[in-house]
Amino acid sequence: MLGRLILASALAAAVPASAQWFEIKVAGTPRLPDGRPNLSAPVPRDSKGKPILDGVWQMNGKYLQNIAADMKPGEVPYQPWAEQLFKARQNGALGRTDPAARCIPGMPKLDALPYPFKIIESPGMTMMLFEGFTTFRQIFTDGRELPKDPNPTWFGYSVGKWEGDDWVVNTIGIKESTWLDNAGRPHSDALHLIERFQRHDFGHMDILLTIDDPKAYTKPWTVKEDLRLIPDTELLEYICVENEKDYGHLVGK
């Protein structure tokens, strides 16, 4: 599988499952005359006409390393303390100061891991299963409100709703010790993530990600992250194990 790269910032041991799930033929996949999946086929839709997001997806890995990869220098609207901390982390961005070295990816890094993830839609909730760190994310679609005073968690609390053909996910309550990307961009306990999933055809989808954190940034800012469908395969098992002995040899202060 393309893109199955081990995070340079994590002390992880990836234990792959048997390759028996590769090259399967997933039912409902549109195909070209030669049998290959037709990734340019129209967006699949449910009985209400909404795009179906189910499938195994993988994000362009550059956003894990640098969430602002498509922005110009100076466009990230830092608060002064946040910019100072970001610069201070550069010496250890690929070493011991990155929470991923302790098997903690956080959000929005979880979406951008260089491993596939699976979206499973069901009534009242959409589940995202991540090959990286073999973890999951629950996005509730049963009409509930976000908690008023959430106890911070690594991935936060998420609710989703449809706005036209866009599936919009709001997330709050993410522990401020996590990073936005491997480069070390910080956030505060006030972080509010807005993800707008836009499926363009069978094999391609974007996430318009807005970072709204008035404590760390002077205004909300948005990046566009591109996803591609990984057809005819399944997720593998991945185990991230913090190794204290090896951890001590990582670079960085």
The CA-based dihedral angle spanning residues 120, 112, 157, 189, taken in that order and rounded to the nearest 10 degrees: 180
Mean pLDDT of 54-76: 94
- Amino acid 50: pLDDT: 97
- Amino acid 229: pLDDT: 97
pTM summary value: 0.85
The more confident residue out of 239 and 39 is 39
Q: What is the mean pLDDT of the chain?
A: 87
Among the ranges given (55-59, 86-90, 178-182, 217-221), the one the predictor scored with the smallest mean pLDDT: 86-90
- Most distant CA atoms of the chain, gap in Å: 57
Backbone phi and psi for residue 63, each to the nearest 5 degrees, phi listed first: -75, -20
Long-range contacts of 40-44 (CB under 8 A, 24+ apart): 40/201, 40/202, 40/203, 41/201, 41/202, 41/203, 42/201, 42/202, 43/165, 43/199, 43/200, 43/201, 43/202, 44/202
The more confident residue out of 92 and 62 is 62
> In a 3-state reduction of DSSP, which class is residue 127?
strand
Beta bridge partners of 121: 126
Highest mean pLDDT among 72-81, 128-137, 242-251: 72-81
What is the percent of the chain where pLDDT is above 90?
68
Query: 37 pLDDT exceeds 80?
Result: yes
What's the pLDDT tens digit per position in 122-177?
A: 999 999 999 988 899 999 999 999 999 999 999 999 999 999 999 999 999 999 99
Residue with token string 């836009």: 198
Among the ranges given (53-57, 95-99, 162-166), the one the predictor scored with the smallest mean pLDDT: 95-99
Query: 245 pLDDT exceeds 60?
Result: no
Q: Which domains does the chain possess?
A: 54-247 (2.40.128.20)
- Amino acid 22: pLDDT: 67
